[in-house]
Structure 1
Amino acid sequence: MQVKALMTAFAALPLASAWAQQTLPPVTVSDERNTANAFEWNAETIRALRERHRQTASLLTELPGVSMLAGGTISTLPVVRGLADERLRVTIDGADLTATCPNHMNTPLSYIAPTSIEQLTLYPSVTPVSVGGDAIGGAVVVERRKAPFASDSTPVRGGEAGATYRSNGNGKAADFAAWYGTETFAAQYQGSFAESDNLRAGGPFKNYRFTGRAGHTLDLDEIGSTAYQVRNHAIDFGWRSGEHEVRAEVGLQQQPYQLYPNQRMDLLDNEEKRAALTYRGRFASGELEARLYHETVDHFMDFGADKRYWYGMASGGPTAVDGSPCAPLGPTCAAGMPMYASSTTNGAKVKATIALDTASLVRMGGEWNRYTLDDWWPPSGGGMWPNTFWNIRNGKRERTALFAEWERAITPTWRTTLGARIERVTTDADPVAGYANTNGVAPNFNYQLRDSTAFNASDRSRGDTLWNLVWSNSWQLASAWRAGLDLAHQSRAPSLYERYPWSTWQMAALMNNFVGDGNGYIGNLDLKPEKAYTAAARLAWQANNDGWRVEWRPYLTVVEDYIDAVQWDATANAPRATPVTNRFVVLKYVNQRAKLYGHELTLRGPLARNGWGAWAFAATLACSRGSNTETGDNLYGVMPRNVKLTLDQTRGQWQQRFIVEAVERKSRTNRMRNEIPTAGYALLHWQGSLTLSNAVTWHFGIDNVFDRSYAYPLGGAYVGQGTTMTNPLPPNVPQWGTPVPGPGRTIWTGLRVRF
Structure 2
Amino acid sequence: MTISHPVRLGATALLMSTISTMAASLAYAQEADLTLDPITVEGQQSVAQAVQTAQTYAFDPALLPVPAGLDGGALLSSVPGVAGSRMGGHGIDIIIRGMQGNQLNIIDAGSFTYGGCPNRMDPPSAMASFYRADEVVVERGYASVTSGPGGSGGTVRLERAAPDFEEGKIFSGDLLLGGSSNGNGLSAAGTLSADLGNGFYAELSGEHKEADNYEDGNGDEVRSAFTQNSAGLTLGYAANGTDLALDIEKDEALDTLFGGANMDSPSSETLTYRLRGGTDVDMGALTRIEGVLYSSEVDHVMDNYSLRTNMMPMVMRVPTTSDTLGGKLEGQFDFGATKAKIGVDYQSNNRIAYAYRGSVATVEAEDPNAVIALMWPDVTIEQTGLYAETETALSEVNTLKFGLRYDHVRSTIDDADGNATYPNAVTPNDVYTSVYGVSYDGAVTEDNFGGLMRFEHRLDPDTMLFAGLSRSVRTADANERAMARQVGTTIWAGNPDIAPEKHNQFDLGIEITRADWGLNATAYVDKVEDYILRQTVGTVTSYSNVSALLAGVEIGGHVTSGAWTFAGNLAYTYGENRSDDKPLGQIPPLMGALSASYDAGIWQAGARVNFAAAQDRIDPLRDASTTPGYATLDLFGAYEISDTVMLIGGVDNLFDKAYANHLNRETVLGESTGTINEPGRNVYLTLQVQF
TM-score by length of 1: 0.80
Give the match for residue 363 of structure 1: 341
Going from structure 1 to structure 2, the CA distance change for 1:427 and 1:447 (only over 3 Å counts) comes to: closer
Give the match for residue 728 of structure 1: none
Going from structure 1 to structure 2, the CA distance change for 1:33 and 1:499 (only over 3 Å counts) comes to: same
Give the match for residue 400 of structure 1: 384
Give the match for residue 491 of structure 1: 473
Structure 1 letter corresponding to 2:206:
G
Deviation of residue 366 (structure 1)? 0.2
Q: Tell me, yes or no, if the aligned pair for 1:364 and 1:404 is still in contact at 8 Å.
A: yes
Task: Measure the CA separation in 1 of the matches of 2:490 and 2:495.
Answer: 15
Deviation of residue 565 (structure 1)? 2.8
Deviation of residue 308 (structure 1)? 3.5
Going from structure 1 to structure 2, the CA distance change for 1:507 and 1:269 (only over 3 Å counts) comes to: farther
Give the match for residue 240 of structure 1: 238
Going from structure 1 to structure 2, the CA distance change for 1:484 and 1:598 (only over 3 Å counts) comes to: same
Equivalent residue in structure 1 for 2:71, among 39, 44, 55? 55
Where does 1:45-444 land on structure 2 (aligned, <5 Å)?
Answer: 47-49=63-65, 54-144=70-160, 146-148=161-163, 150=165, 154-181=168-195, 182-203=197-218, 221-223=220-222, 225-284=223-282, 285-303=286-304, 307-311=308-312, 333-334=313-314, 336-357=315-336, 359-381=337-359, 386-388=369-371, 389-431=373-415, 433=418
Structure 2 letter corresponding to 1:547:
D
Where does 1:502-651 land on structure 2 (aligned, <5 Å)?
Answer: 502-505=484-487, 509=491, 521-543=492-514, 546-568=515-537, 585-607=539-561, 609=562, 614-651=563-600
Going from structure 1 to structure 2, the CA distance change for 1:94 and 1:114 (only over 3 Å counts) comes to: closer
Superposed CA offset, 1:242-293 (max 9, x none): 2222111100111112221211111111111111111210012411001110
Task: Measure the CA separation in 2 of the matches of 1:448 and 1:597.
Answer: 37
The answer to whether structure 1 residue 716 and structure 2 residue 665 are counterparts is yes
Going from structure 1 to structure 2, the CA distance change for 1:674 and 1:351 (only over 3 Å counts) comes to: closer
Deviation of residue 394 (structure 1)? 2.1
Going from structure 1 to structure 2, the CA distance change for 1:48 and 1:378 (only over 3 Å counts) comes to: closer
Secondary structure of the structure 2 residue equivalent to 1:110: helix
Superposed CA offset, 1:308-339 (max 9, x none): 4232xxxxxxxxxxxxxxxxxxxxx31x3111
Task: Measure the CA separation in 1 of the matches of 2:422 and 2:250.
Answer: 37
Going from structure 1 to structure 2, the CA distance change for 1:525 and 1:398 (only over 3 Å counts) comes to: same
Superposed CA offset, 1:398-422 (max 9, x none): 1111101121101111111111010
Going from structure 1 to structure 2, the CA distance change for 1:71 and 1:484 (only over 3 Å counts) comes to: farther
Range with greater deviation from structure 2 (238-247 or 359-368):
238-247
Secondary structure of the structure 1 residue equivalent to 2:573: strand
Deviation of residue 456 (structure 1)? 11
Task: Measure the CA separation in 2 of the matches of 1:650 and 1:63.
Answer: 21
Going from structure 1 to structure 2, the CA distance change for 1:395 and 1:718 (only over 3 Å counts) comes to: same
Task: Measure the CA separation in 1 of the matches of 2:661 and 2:579.
Answer: 28
Give the total of aligned pairs: 642
Task: Measure the CA separation in 1 of the matches of 2:71 and 2:190.
Answer: 16
Task: Measure the CA separation in 2 of the matches of 1:31 and 1:355.
Answer: 15
Deviation of residue 496 (structure 1)? 1.2
Structure 2 letter corresponding to 1:488:
S
Task: Measure the CA separation in 2 of the matches of 1:390 and 1:530.
Answer: 26
Q: Tell me, yes or no, if the aligned pair for 1:698 and 1:751 is still in contact at 8 Å.
A: yes
Range with greater deviation from structure 2 (81-90 or 424-433):
424-433
Deviation of residue 734 (structure 1)? 7.5
Task: Measure the CA separation in 2 of the matches of 1:162 and 1:675.
Answer: 38
Range with greater deviation from structure 2 (187-196 or 66-75):
66-75
Structure 2 letter corresponding to 1:187:
A
Task: Measure the CA separation in 1 of the matches of 2:601 and 2:239.
Answer: 42
Deviation of residue 498 (structure 1)? 1.1
Give the match for residue 451 of structure 1: 431
Deviation of residue 437 (structure 1)? 6.7
Structure 1 letter corresponding to 2:458:
Q
Q: Tell me, yes or no, if the aligned pair for 1:640 and 1:713 is still in contact at 8 Å.
A: yes
Task: Measure the CA separation in 2 of the matches of 1:604 and 1:23.
Answer: 7
Q: Tell me, yes or no, if the aligned pair for 2:225 and 2:257 is still in contact at 8 Å.
A: yes
Deviation of residue 127 (structure 1)? 3.3
Q: Tell me, yes or no, if the aligned pair for 1:506 and 1:586 is still in contact at 8 Å.
A: no
Q: Tell me, yes or no, if the aligned pair for 2:305 and 2:316 is still in contact at 8 Å.
A: no
Structure 1 letter corresponding to 2:431:
D
Give the match for residue 639 of structure 2: 690
Going from structure 1 to structure 2, the CA distance change for 1:676 and 1:286 (only over 3 Å counts) comes to: same
Equivalent residue in structure 2 for 1:41, among 58, 76, 89? 58
Superposed CA offset, 1:43-86 (max 9, x none): 3x762445667122233333332111223423111111111111
Q: Tell me, yes or no, if the aligned pair for 1:38 and 1:121 is still in contact at 8 Å.
A: no
Superposed CA offset, 1:542-583 (max 9, x none): 33xx11112211111111100103444xxxxxxxxxxx6xxx
Give the match for residue 688 of structure 2: 752
Deviation of residue 438 (structure 1)? 7.8
Going from structure 1 to structure 2, the CA distance change for 1:283 and 1:49 (only over 3 Å counts) comes to: farther
Deviation of residue 364 (structure 1)? 0.2
Task: Measure the CA separation in 2 of the matches of 1:742 and 1:499.
Answer: 32
Structure 1 letter corresponding to 2:339:
L
Superposed CA offset, 1:656-714 (max 9, x none): 12000111111111122253111111100011110111121111110000001112211
Superposed CA offset, 1:716-737 (max 9, x none): 211134xxxxxxxxxxx987xx
TM-score by length of 2: 0.87
**Which structure has the larger Rg over C-alpha atoms?**
1
- Percent same amino acid among aligned pairs? 22
Q: Tell me, yes or no, if the aligned pair for 2:22 and 2:569 is still in contact at 8 Å.
A: no
Q: Tell me, yes or no, if the aligned pair for 1:200 and 1:743 is still in contact at 8 Å.
A: yes
Unaligned runs of 5+ in 2: 1-18, 35-51
Task: Measure the CA separation in 1 of the matches of 2:551 and 2:328.
Answer: 33
Task: Measure the CA separation in 2 of the matches of 1:371 and 1:355.
Answer: 34
Secondary structure of the structure 2 residue equivalent to 1:47: coil
Q: Tell me, yes or no, if the aligned pair for 2:632 and 2:657 is still in contact at 8 Å.
A: yes
Task: Measure the CA separation in 2 of the matches of 1:471 and 1:38.
Answer: 14
The answer to whether structure 1 residue 26 and structure 2 residue 10 are counterparts is no
Going from structure 1 to structure 2, the CA distance change for 1:410 and 1:423 (only over 3 Å counts) comes to: same
Give the match for residue 730 of structure 1: none
Task: Measure the CA separation in 1 of the matches of 2:68 and 2:556.
Answer: 22
Going from structure 1 to structure 2, the CA distance change for 1:714 and 1:598 (only over 3 Å counts) comes to: same
Secondary structure of the structure 2 residue equivalent to 1:286: strand
Going from structure 1 to structure 2, the CA distance change for 1:183 and 1:648 (only over 3 Å counts) comes to: farther
Give the match for residue 38 of structure 2: none
Unaligned runs of 5+ in 1: 1-18, 205-220, 312-332, 440-445, 510-520, 569-579, 722-732
